[in-house]
Amino acid sequence: IGDRAAGAIKSGGTTRRAAKMVCLDVDHPDIEAFVNWKAEEEAKVAALIRAGYASDFNGDAYSTVSGQNSNNSVRVTQEFLEAVEANGDWHLTWRTDGRVSRSFKARDLWQQITSAAWRCADPGVQFDTTINEWHTCPASGRINASNPCSEYMFLDDTACNLASLNLLKFHDVDRGFDVESFRHACEVVITAQEIVVDYASYPTKAIEKNSHDFRPLGIGYANLGALLMARGMAYDSDSGRGYAAAITALMTGASYAQSARIAEQKNPFAGYAKNREPMLRVMRKHRDAVKRIDAAHVPLELLQAAKQTWDEVVTLGELHGFKNSQISVLAPTGTIAFMMDCDTTGVEPDIALVKYKKLVGGGMIKIVNQTVPVGLKRLGYEKDEIRAIVEFIDAHDTIEGAPFLKAEHLSVFDCAFKPAQGSRSIDYTGHLRMLSAAQPVISGAISKTINMPEDSTPEEIEQAYIEGWKLGLKAVAIYRDGCKRSQPLSTSKDDGSDRSDR
């Protein structure tokens, strides 16, 4: 019923489907049917496409199968994952009385989860134990699920307004990143978001009450991948991760500090008193994470600002509390990134230096990365060399083989997917390590796809999920290139219809 209802509701018009997250606990009696649901529907899509039905996501093949109106995630616990590693038993329990309904090896269920993800990219996993260890308001209830893109995780029946800053707007080719302007922008934006809480409308009375009582906010950013490229840093590098961690820490810290100043004038959020100690404990965990950022990879001014800001957060929080229970998330920024003229979305690298985007309702546009010349200039290339490299990219849809480009600089321009006429891409471990750099200094979670090449195996997806758990991430979603018969972004003009047998 929920799936059909979401299919009837459209986002921002008449053709774009609404977003919905469906989470199921790993010990639920229906977990196996849930895990395999969308993979089985994807097999039906393949059969329909082979029979001649349109492969477009809004076409006849996808519109006639179920499960296409949601992102599915399994809530896995520390106990379950330890049972997977030990090849131990796992028990499914009835929701009504807690009795065991079935028992089997945890590893058997785990392999079903990873096999289904290999086949259709669902389900993702949400690490329930980790999520609740970083919960600022556990005295008011546990965190059970997330929003559709998995970045907002908080109490049931709450809502969060989001705002994302374009990081490249704070960067100058000659002067670098403007730390003070970024800090001030965070303070201004988080104040505006706090004001919006009381003026917003909410779909139910329960959501309205809890949103007013806990006032969770979600400041974030877009264009991180482009910023790193502009600075001549590889996304999958210690310097790239350190730089990203410091910027994320400064954003969250500046915003929490501002929230504490507002609380000094307007009192803390209504649910703060009974959650004071666990919230301050989480603030200290964030501060400790900032101290672990490697100074060797971050400009001194940026790292000092992040550390100073988090000392301020703890001091002001102990004195005044906070106006907001949560302050930051890293959202996907898929649509707004286009409006902000960003090359990359959220915390993502670019999917490719040249990509082709399908438009809802038909048609396709070619999107070319605009940050490459800035990065080349940072790396010391001359104007004529930059022009020749950019012209090569436009002609060949890849930077590999471009004239004048030094081999040691190729990694700076690596992207999520291998280009149609190239061989390089960011390894899935690079995506995971970037998440692990940002996650400890984010209030909520991060909407981020772990992109994997088409020839990835189910065992590699299993390893990606396990590594995400051990790195302390709150959630992991993978996408194996070509696992869906239709995908909105690709590295060639091919519409993907030739994948119907895969």
Q: Minimal CA–CA distance to 473: which of 499, 425, 437?
A: 437
Q: Do residues 370 and 343 lie in contact, with contact meaning Cβ atoms separated by under 8 Å?
A: yes
Cα dihedral angle (403, 418, 374, 385), rounded to 10 degrees?
A: 0
CA 475/CA 468 separation, integer angstroms = 8
- Give me the sign of the Cα torsion angle 447, 448, 449, 450: negative
CA 465/CA 473 separation, integer angstroms = 10
* First-residue to last-residue Cα distance in the chain: 30
CA 364/CA 408 separation, integer angstroms = 34
Q: How would you classify the pairing of strands 89-93 and 176-177?
A: unpaired
Residue 147 annotated in active site = yes
Catalytic pick among 42, 151, 348, 462 = 151
Residue 134 Cα distances to 82, 279, 394, 442, 473, angstroms: 20, 9, 45, 10, 11
* Secondary structure (3-state) at 364: strand
Catalytic pick among 23, 137, 149, 415 = 149
DSSP letter string, 183-250:
HHHHHHHHHHHHHHHHH---SSHHHHHHHHHH--EEEEEE-HHHHHHHTT--SSSHHHHHHHHHHHHH
Q: How would you classify the pairing of strands 21-25 and 100-105?
A: unpaired
The tokens for 36 are 């395999």
DSSP letter string, 271-325:
TSGGGHHHHHHHHHHHHHHHHTS-GGGS-HHHHHHHHHHHHHHHHHHHHH--S-S
Catalytic pick among 147, 223, 275, 369 = 147
Residue 149 annotated in active site = yes
Preceding omega of 138 cis (within 30 degrees of 0): no
Residue 32 annotated in active site = no
Residues carrying an active site annotation: 147, 149, 151
